[in-house]
Amino acid sequence: MIDLHTHSLLSDGELLPSELVRRAKVKGYRIIGITDHVDVSNIEEVVPSILKLGKKLEYYEGITVLPGVEITHVPKGLVKEMIDFAKRLGIFYVVVHGETIAEPVQEGTNREAIEGNADILAHPGIIAEADVALAGEKGTLLEISGRKGHSLGNGRLAMMAKKIGARLVFNTDAHDPSDLVSEEEARKVVLGAGLSTEDFYTMQENAMEFATKVLKERK
């Protein structure tokens, strides 16, 4: 089980990063990315805090921890700047909070995130087919979400991504312990989006390939 989108109490999650990692390990996770919400007001505090985990990764036996951030509800025109800034601060990777029917994300955020080289576009249920195609060209991973509300757009995204050939990943967007899921539960979400078991394992392979690349870049 690989999950590249979770939250700790560094933003609006319930758990310390270390407890989140521990609970994920017990749940059967092999890799967990902690991607707390940031905007211009808190990015310079959150990134150094989460990067402290990156300096202690050897202590987290049996599970790989990837420190990331999720750029959230940042106005159009600032998204690319924030992506670049987060990477300059040394964060391992950047998720952008995509346009979802569950929240009033500004229209055009999906496109700007993809053009700005976000690594993952989170729960982009409201996404144009042209943006799915662009994500496919640029290698931006598109998220099938296990989170209530955001998951309502999974079917539409799955259909377009399969048609166009864009790469998908499954993430929980976990904020509390109950949001963490087993591999079987994750697979059911993927099947519910109209995809197959084979698609689920392809998504896990996409996540593993991405995590491996990120870790190599940090060596």
Enter the pTM of the model: 0.97
Q: Which domain holds residue 112?
A: 2-217
pLDDT (tens, 9 = 90+) of the chain, 219 residues, equals: 999 999 999 999 999 999 999 999 999 999 999 999 999 999 999 999 999 988 898 899 999 999 999 999 999 999 999 999 999 999 999 999 999 999 999 999 999 999 999 999 999 999 999 999 999 999 999 999 999 999 999 999 999 999 999 999 999 999 999 999 999 999 999 999 999 999 999 999 999 999 999 999 987
Determine the pLDDT at residue 135: 98
**Rounded (5°) CA angle 198-135-176:** 65
State the Cα–Cα distance between residues 118 and 127, nearest whole angstrom: 15
| Domains in the chain, number | 1
Helix-strand-coil percent breakdown of the chain, rounded to 5? 45, 20, 35
Whole-number pLDDT of residue 54 = 85
Instruction: Write the CATH number for 119.
Output: 3.20.20.140
pLDDT confidence of residue 183: 95
- State the pLDDT at residue 198: 98
